[in-house]
């Protein structure tokens, strides 16, 4: 019975350790969070508000896509971007609705949908034109800000084509199942206890051997005493040679 209990505890412990490992791998929660938005009618310009890139931390990846093909990304003082856009219609990315959805609002909804080409203006601090999709890292963008973080980002085509219509920001996220340490602890304890019990059950008990020897010795003494008292006849030796010449009796 003890051996069966030991085997059960050992198996239970190994299962617990396996479940804990699965909790760190297959069943582990996502290690990143992605917030995105698709803008049905972006107009000529999209502005990402200061600090939106850093809501999930100063590390991550940004992906900006445009059906127009080309994307121009500009950084500048907030007042310079706002003044350049004037009363024209544009879309502003304001923050997060949740960890999956970026929020937007239309500014100057009655304004025009065309702007002059943004390229080469003296107002801009940085200007980058690339094919869609445009990818960059949050930490790289923060480093380019030279300590002047939380600036607006202006996204455009060439002023006449539509601005980017899809923005996606992914931040790394440290997450784990809180029950994993408990599963490791319970599994290890159960497996260790089962192994110890199994090892003990497989070894002979010296006390039992001693008792068996004592029982054998006691039995021999009892037989000897019975022979001496005549309770049982003593075993006598038979002289086979003496009987070799005797004729068998009728």
How does pLDDT run across 7-59, given as a tens digit for each residue? 888 888 888 888 888 877 777 778 899 999 999 999 999 999 998 999 998 89
Output 228 or 183, whichever has higher pLDDT: 183
Taking a C-beta distance cutoff of 8 angstroms, is the pair 99, 196 a contact? no
Give residue 215's pLDDT. 57
Give residue 77's pLDDT. 86
Q: Which of 170, 150, 163 is nearest to 92 (CA)?
A: 163
Within 8 A by CB and 6+ apart from 17, the residues are 183, 184, 187, 188, 191
Q: At what angle do helices 2-24 and 180-202 cross, to 10 degrees?
A: 150
Q: What is the pLDDT of residues 96-151, one digit of tens each?
A: 999 999 999 999 999 888 898 888 888 898 899 999 899 999 999 888 776 666 78
Output 204 or 61, whichever has higher pLDDT: 61
Give residue 238's pLDDT. 47
- Residue 236 clears pLDDT 70, i.e. is over it: no
Output 11 or 205, whichever has higher pLDDT: 11
Give residue 137's pLDDT. 95
Distance CA 149, CA 33 (A): 22
The sign of the CA dihedral 41, 163, 139, 137 is positive
Give residue 250's pLDDT. 47
DSSP H or E run through 224:
helix 206-229
Give residue 222's pLDDT. 53
Give residue 211's pLDDT. 58
- Residue 173 clears pLDDT 60, i.e. is over it: yes
Instruction: Quote the pTM value.
Output: 0.66
Taking a C-beta distance cutoff of 8 angstroms, is the pair 123, 84 a contact? yes
Q: What is the pLDDT of residues 214-232, one digit of tens each?
A: 655 555 555 555 556 665 5
Give residue 168's pLDDT. 97
Give residue 108's pLDDT. 93
**CA of 156: how far to CAs of 39, 120, 180, in Å?**
13, 13, 47
């Amino acid at each position: 019975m003890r051996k069966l209990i030991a085997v059960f505890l050992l198996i239970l412990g190994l299962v617990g350790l396996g479940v804990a490992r699965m909790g760190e791998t297959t069943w582990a929660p996502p290690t990143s969070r992605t917030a995105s938005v698709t803008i049905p009618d972006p107009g000529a310009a999209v502005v990402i508000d200061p600090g939106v890139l850093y809501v999930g931390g100063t590390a991550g990846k940004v992906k900006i896509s445009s059906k127009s093909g080309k994307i121009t990304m500009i950084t500048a003082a907030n007042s310079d971007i706002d003044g350049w856009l004037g009363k024209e219609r544009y879309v502003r990315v304001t923050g997060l609705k949740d960890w999956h959805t970026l929020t937007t609002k239309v500014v100057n909804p009655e304004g025009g949908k065309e702007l002059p080409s943004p390229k080469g203006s003296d107002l801009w601090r940085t200007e980058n034109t690339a094919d869609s999709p445009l990818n960059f890292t949050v930490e790289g963008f923060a480093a380019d800000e030279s300590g002047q973080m939380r600036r607006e980002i202006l996204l455009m085509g060439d002023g006449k084509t539509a601005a980017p219509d899809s923005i996606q920001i992914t931040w790394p996220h440290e997450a784990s199942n809180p029950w994993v340490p408990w599963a490791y602890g319970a599994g290890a304890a159960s497996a260790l206890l089962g192994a110890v019990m199994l090892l003990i059950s497989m070894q002979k008990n010296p006390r039992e051997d001693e008792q068996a020897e004592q029982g054998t010795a006691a039995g021999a003494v009892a037989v000897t005493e019975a022979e001496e008292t005549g309770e049982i006849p003593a075993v006598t030796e038979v002289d086979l040679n003496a009987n070799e010449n005797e004729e068998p009796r009728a």
